[in-house]
A and B are shown apart, each in its own frame.
Chain A
C-alpha cells in the first residue's frame, strides 16, 4: 500500500493550516479514499470544530496516556464517509509538553495506521515536537499568507527545520561539537548556511557530505493561503525560489488558495467549507493541491537532483 502521510504546518498562527488540513481530508474522502485526520496541534486543537464536530473522547490524549491501546482506536468516525478524525486533546498542559518516548510512539503508530491517507494538522511554532511531526511526513506542507509577518515566520520555521534535521544527524554520528558552531553561524543569517557547509567541507569532507545529503533530503512544499490577487499567488512562487537559493532546500510550490469570505461564514455556522462550496475558487485550488501532493510522492522520494558536492 502506497502510504501518504502529509503534515500541514507553518511558523505563524492563523494562516489556515487547520482549514487546509480539514478540506484536503474532505476532498480525498469524497474521492472514495480512506482518510484519517489527526489533530496534532498539541497546544490549541480545533480541527473537530472545522468539521462541525464537538470536542469529546476518545482523543489523542487518551492514546498518549495509554487509555487506548492504539491510535487506530482514537480515530472516530465523522459525519463524512471515508473520513475519520483523531481529535486533539483537551488536556493541553500534559500534551503540549510531550515526552520524547511518547512522541516516538505516536510517530510509529501514525505509520502503522491501516489507512492509505493520513493528514497531520500541526500547531504553530518551532517546538521539537512540531518539527519532528513535520519532518516525519512525506511531504510536509508549509502554509503561509501574503503578509510580511507570515513570510518572516515561514523562513524562521524552515530554518528551525533545517537545524533540527542537521542536529538529528549530528547526534547520530556523534559530532556534537559541530552543533554549537552551526548554531552560531546559521542563526546569524541565511548566507552563513553556505559558509557553514563550506568550512565543514574544508575540515571534514565526510561529515560535510552526510549533512549536506541530509539537508537535500528534506523537501517541504508550500501553499500560499488567503491570496487576494495574482500577485499574491506569484509571491508563493517567489518564496519557494528564495528558499531554494538561500536555505539550500528543494521546496515545491503547490499553489495559492484564494481568499474567500464564505470560509468565515462556514466557520460561524459550524459547517465544513468544502462540501458546501465545491465550485468555489478555493475548493478548486484545494483539489489541484491534492493532485500536486499525490504527484509529490514521486517528487519527495526521488533522489535530490543536485547531489554533487561542493569542492573543498
Chain B
C-alpha cells in the first residue's frame, strides 16, 4: 500500500512478514541498520540526513517492540484493528509480456464515432 515513510508499520520497516520468526526479525533489523547507517551508500542521492535519523529511531522502536513477545502481540492486535493482513498469494495472472499501453486499442476518432451514428451499415 502506498504509504509515507512515517506510516510504515514495524514489519514493513524491517522488510519482514508479519509471521516472521525472532531470527528473521533479527536479520531484518541488522539489514535495515546497515542500510540506514551513517554514510550508507544506499542512501546516496535519495535520502536526506534528517530522514535517515528519523528512520533509525523508528527502527530501534520496531526492534524493541517485535522482539518482546507480549509487546509484539499487543502491536499485532493494534495493527489488525487498523488494517487486515493478507499473506502473500500465489501467482494467478498470466501476462502477455507487453507494455499495456502497446496493447490498448487505438482511440476512436470523432469521424469514426460520427460514422457509427449516421451510417446505418458502416
**A310 vs B1: C-alpha distance in the bound complex, in angstroms?**
6
Query: Judging by beta carbons under 8 Å apart, are B34 and A301 in contact?
Result: no
Query: Judging by beta carbons under 8 Å apart, are A242 and B8 in contact?
Result: no
Query: Judging by beta carbons under 8 Å apart, are B42 and A151 in contact?
Result: yes
A197 at interface (Cβ–Cβ under 8 A)?
A: yes
Contact for A146 among B4, B41, B97, B101, CB less than 8 A: B41
Question: CB-CB < 8 A to A111: which residues of B?
Answer: 97-98
Question: CB-CB < 8 A to A136: which residues of B?
Answer: 98-99, 102
B111 at interface (Cβ–Cβ under 8 A)?
A: no
Query: Judging by beta carbons under 8 Å apart, are A239 and B42 in contact?
Result: yes
The segment out of A79-87, A230-238, A275-283 that lies at the interface is A230-238
B65 at interface (Cβ–Cβ under 8 A)?
A: no
Contact for B92 among A191, A237, A303, A306, CB less than 8 A: A303
Question: CB-CB < 8 A to A168: which residues of B?
Answer: 99, 101
Question: CB-CB < 8 A to A197: which residues of B?
Answer: 2
Contact with A along B49-78 (1 / 0, CB 8 A): 001000000000000000000000000000
Contact with B along A103-117 (1 / 0, CB 8 A): 010010001000000
A302 at interface (Cβ–Cβ under 8 A)?
A: yes
How many residues on the B side are at the interface (Cβ–Cβ under 8 A)?
Answer: 37
Question: CB-CB < 8 A to A300: which residues of B?
Answer: 95
Instruction: Name the interface size band of chain A.
Output: 35 or more
Secondary structure class of chain B's binding surface, majority of residues: loop
Smallest CB separation, A227 vs chain B (Å): 12
Query: Judging by beta carbons under 8 Å apart, are A191 and B5 in contact?
Result: yes
Residues of chain A from 201 to 237 with CB closer than 8 A to chain B in the complex: 212, 214, 217, 231, 234-235, 237
Query: Judging by beta carbons under 8 Å apart, are B2 and A148 in contact?
Result: no
Contact with B along A290-306 (1 / 0, CB 8 A): 00000000101111011
Secondary structure class of chain A's binding surface, majority of residues: helix
Query: Judging by beta carbons under 8 Å apart, are B1 and A235 in contact?
Result: no
Query: Judging by beta carbons under 8 Å apart, are A305 and B88 in contact?
Result: yes
Question: CB-CB < 8 A to B44: which residues of A?
Answer: 148, 151-152
Query: Judging by beta carbons under 8 Å apart, are B94 and A301 in contact?
Result: yes
Question: CB-CB < 8 A to B91: which residues of A?
Answer: 298, 301-303
**A210 vs B88: C-alpha distance in the bound complex, in angstroms?**
22
Query: Judging by beta carbons under 8 Å apart, are A301 and B8 in contact?
Result: no
Contact with B along A134-165 (1 / 0, CB 8 A): 01101000000011100110011000000000
Residues of chain B from 1 to 51 with CB closer than 8 A to chain A in the complex: 1-5, 8, 12, 15, 31-32, 34-35, 40-48, 51
Smallest CB separation, B1 vs chain A (Å): 5
**A152 vs B3: C-alpha distance in the bound complex, in angstroms?**
23
Smallest CB separation, B104 vs chain A (Å): 6
Residues of chain A from 90 to 111 with CB closer than 8 A to chain B in the complex: 104, 107, 111
Question: CB-CB < 8 A to A309: which residues of B?
Answer: 1-2
**A194 vs B51: C-alpha distance in the bound complex, in angstroms?**
15
Query: Judging by beta carbons under 8 Å apart, are B3 and A194 in contact?
Result: yes
Query: Judging by beta carbons under 8 Å apart, are B45 and A155 in contact?
Result: yes
Question: Given A235-B41, A301-B95, A246 and B47 touching (CB < 8 A)?
Answer: yes
A245 at interface (Cβ–Cβ under 8 A)?
A: yes
**A231 vs B15: C-alpha distance in the bound complex, in angstroms?**
19
A169 at interface (Cβ–Cβ under 8 A)?
A: yes
**B residues touching A (Cβ–Cβ < 8 Å)?**
1-5, 8, 12, 15, 31-32, 34-35, 40-48, 51, 88-89, 91-95, 97-102, 104, 107
